[in-house]
Structure 1
Amino acid sequence: MSTPDIPVASALNPTANRPAAPLTWPTAWRQPAFRARLGLVLLLLLALASQLPRYFAWVQARPGYHLPDPLLVWLPAHDVSGATFVVIYLGIALGVATLLPRPALLLRALWAYLLLQLLRCATLWLLPLEPPPGLVLLRDPLVDYLFYAAPSPITKDLFFSGHTATLLLLALAVPAGLRRRLLLLATGAVGTLVLIQHAHYTYDVLAAPLFVWLAWRGSAWAWAWAWKESC
């Protein structure tokens, strides 16, 4: 699926059909609609981030269910945390570096990421799970420090895989080409590595693309809503 740079008219007004130059930061910043949507999504992301530590502590304290997972029974568990986070953070760096010069794509990616996190909070609430058997603790120094405020490590934030979903969302957000292919490869690598670590059930990884698609489609609706509100 190609995601070209979005022209000024179509980026800021979905009903516009006249051709226009690609949206640049100086042009975008002069548009009140763009500034309003960017400020709103950043505010909502900050508000969500401020509540996540308590939410994940609650998720960890709840009793959950064990799911049968034939793949994990067959797959020996190994600690591959180092390789996992090298791939994750290199992928995030590539995605962010690609989106930063493209304000329209960056704005949509931020809205999609917000929706993705809300969907993940909802699925964690609806499907309480116990960690897979043989779990090797996956340690992320950045996320553990910023978002996980619990006396013990968070191991029950399972359905769906947030690391896999984040890289796949970046792959959808960047323009088609080499960078998208690299991000898709990184998505597959991380999905495989978290299973090797037994940090997720197979279902957590396989479900991630569905929720990424929902978030990406939902971000288009958020754009249309924000345009109407700004008019």
Structure 2
Amino acid sequence: MLTPDFPGAPTVPNRAANPAAAPLTWTVAWQQPDFRGRLLLVLALLLMLASQLPGYFAWVQARPGYHLPDPLLAWLPAHDVSGATFAVIYLGIVLGVATLLPRPGRLLRALWAYLLLHLLRCATLWLLPLEPPPSLLLLRDPLVDMFLYAAPTPITKDLFFSGHTATLLLLALAVPAGWRRWLLLAGTVAVGTLVLIQHAHYTYDVLAAPLFVWLAWRGSRVVVSG
């Protein structure tokens, strides 16, 4: 059997003189019914989830929540850094996706982890209704505001945990070790810092993100290799 390009990826038949060194290509992966089924299933589930998110976030925004004491935000002056925040986020997403696309095994696991991460976030938002920090400055994301958070009012209560921080950290775990991972980890720290400077999240939202990324990443291994 061919060694996959990360632990837990689907195995594929030997088709090279040196199986241990042969990469998992799209041609090989797509020939496997198990790979095709898991890829098509996760894409369908992500589309289904995306169709439900606008209504869910509108509900989150409408219900009352709790203010949390946050000594760091009380000390840190608020500044609008939306431009820098989304520049780092979208550059990181482009880097991560471009790295994963030629690696079907890693991409499959990343997609399942991303789905699990969103489900965990929906659960934590349901369990912990929060009001935004009093000094919040609204993050302006032209793509998400237009296509995802389609609500009568801006969405400011999708707080625990920080999805922006979590997304870049998940990509850092998904890409191979090396300079891309280090760059995405640096981007994760930058985004976590910037959303706090914006007062768009509580400190707890940012600090909790790595835990839920780890849970999603571990869970994705079970799904992909099970």
Q: Tell me the TM-score normalised to structure 1 length.
A: 0.91
Contact 1:11–1:23 (CA under 8 A) maintained in structure 2: no
- Deviation, structure 1 residue 148: 1.0
The within-5 A match list for 1:56-205 is 56-205=57-206
One-letter code of the match for 1:172? L
Query: Partner residue of 1:12?
Result: 10
Partners of 1:165 and 1:141 in 2: CA distance: 19
Partners of 2:86 and 2:67 in 1: CA distance: 26
Classify the secondary structure of the residue corresponding to 1:11.
coil
Classify the secondary structure of the residue corresponding to 2:69.
coil
Residues 20 and 178 of structure 1, relative CA distance in 2, 3 Å threshold: closer
Structure 1: any 5+ residue segments left out of the alignment? 226-231
Contact 1:92–1:170 (CA under 8 A) maintained in structure 2: yes
Structure 2: any 5+ residue segments left out of the alignment? 13-18
RMSD: 1.6
Deviating above 4 A after TM superposition, structure 1's stretches of 4 or more consecutive aligned residues are none
- Deviation, structure 1 residue 44: 0.2
User: How many residues were matched structurally?
Assistant: 217
Contact 2:131–2:157 (CA under 8 A) maintained in structure 1: yes
Structure 2 residue 45 is matched with structure 1 residue 55: no
- Deviation, structure 1 residue 13: 4.5
One-letter code of the match for 2:41? L
One-letter code of the match for 1:118? L
Contact 2:130–2:159 (CA under 8 A) maintained in structure 1: yes
Partners of 1:166 and 1:174 in 2: CA distance: 13
Query: Partner residue of 1:229?
Result: none
Classify the secondary structure of the residue corresponding to 1:42.
helix
Task: Give aligned-pair identity as a percent.
Answer: 82
- Deviation, structure 1 residue 21: 2.4
Partners of 2:105 and 2:92 in 1: CA distance: 20
Q: Tell me the TM-score normalised to structure 2 length.
A: 0.93
